[in-house]
Amino acid sequence: MPASKRVLVIGIGGGTLDLLAPWAESGRLPYLARLMENGTHGRLASTLQPTTAPAWVTFMTGRNQGKHGLYDFVRRRPGTYDLEVTNASHIVGPTMFDIACSHGLRVITVNIPYTSPPRPVNGVSIGGPFAPSFSRDLVFPPGFYDEMKAVVPDYFVLPDYDSTSSEPLSDFGLKLLRGIELRQQLCLHLLETRDWDLFAVVFMASDEAQHTFWGCQHAPEASRLARHRDVIQDVYERIDEAVGVILDRIACDGGGQDTTVIILSDHGAGPFRLMINLNAWLAERGYLRYRTDRTSSLHRLWAETVKRLAAHYRDRVPSRTRAYIRSRMGTERFERVKSDFESTLLTSCIAWDQTEAYALGAGGNIFVNLKGRDPSGIVEPGTPYRELRERLISDLMTLSDPETGQTLIDRVYRREELYHGVCVDQGPDLIIQWKDYACWGRGRYDSHGPIFQIQDQFDFSRQPLTGSHRLDGLLIAEGLGIEPGTRLEGAHLLDLAPTILSLLDISPGDDLDGHILRAIASEAEEGAERGSRGTQGDSVNSGGEIGYTDEETEIISERLRSLGYL
Residue 483, number of CB atoms within 10 A of its CB: 11
Q: What pLDDT was estimated at residue 345?
A: 58
pLDDT tens-digit map of 355-412: 999 999 899 999 999 999 999 999 999 999 999 999 999 999 999 999 899 999 999 9
Q: Does domain 6-271+469-477+486-494+507-562 have CATH number 3.40.720.10?
A: yes
> Is residue 355 classed as helix, strand or coil in its secondary structure?
coil
Q: How far apart are CA 230 and CA 217, in angstroms?
A: 7
- Do residues 481 and 474 lie in contact, with contact meaning Cβ atoms separated by under 8 Å? no
Between 332 and 109, the more confident residue is: 109
Q: Answer whether the bond into residue 130 is a cis peptide, omega within 30°.
A: yes
Q: Answer whether the bond into residue 271 is a cis peptide, omega within 30°.
A: no
Between 295 and 442, the more confident residue is: 442
pLDDT at 318 over 80: no
pLDDT tens-digit map of 519-560: 999 765 444 443 344 433 333 334 444 454 555 555 445 544
For strands 198-203 and 6-12, give the pairing.
parallel
pTM of the model: 0.88
pLDDT at 338 over 90: no
Q: What pLDDT was estimated at residue 476?
A: 98
Q: What pLDDT was estimated at residue 151?
A: 97
- Do residues 133 and 322 lie in contact, with contact meaning Cβ atoms separated by under 8 Å? no
Q: Where are the domains of the chain?
A: 6-271+469-477+486-494+507-562, 274-468
Whole-number percent of the chain with pLDDT over 70: 79
β-pair partners for 363: 441
Q: How far apart are CA 75 and CA 287, in angstroms?
A: 21
Q: What pLDDT was estimated at residue 491?
A: 98
Q: What is the dihedral of CA 24, 25, 26, 27, to 10 degrees?
A: 50
DSSP state of 344: I
Q: What pLDDT was estimated at residue 267?
A: 98
pLDDT at 57 over 60: yes
pLDDT tens-digit map of 463-486: 788 999 999 999 999 999 999 999
Q: What pLDDT was estimated at residue 378?
A: 98
Nearest Cα neighbor of 524 from 2, 3, 1 is 3
Q: What's the mean per-residue pLDDT of the chain?
A: 86
Q: What is the dihedral of CA 94, 242, 212, 565, to 10 degrees?
A: 10
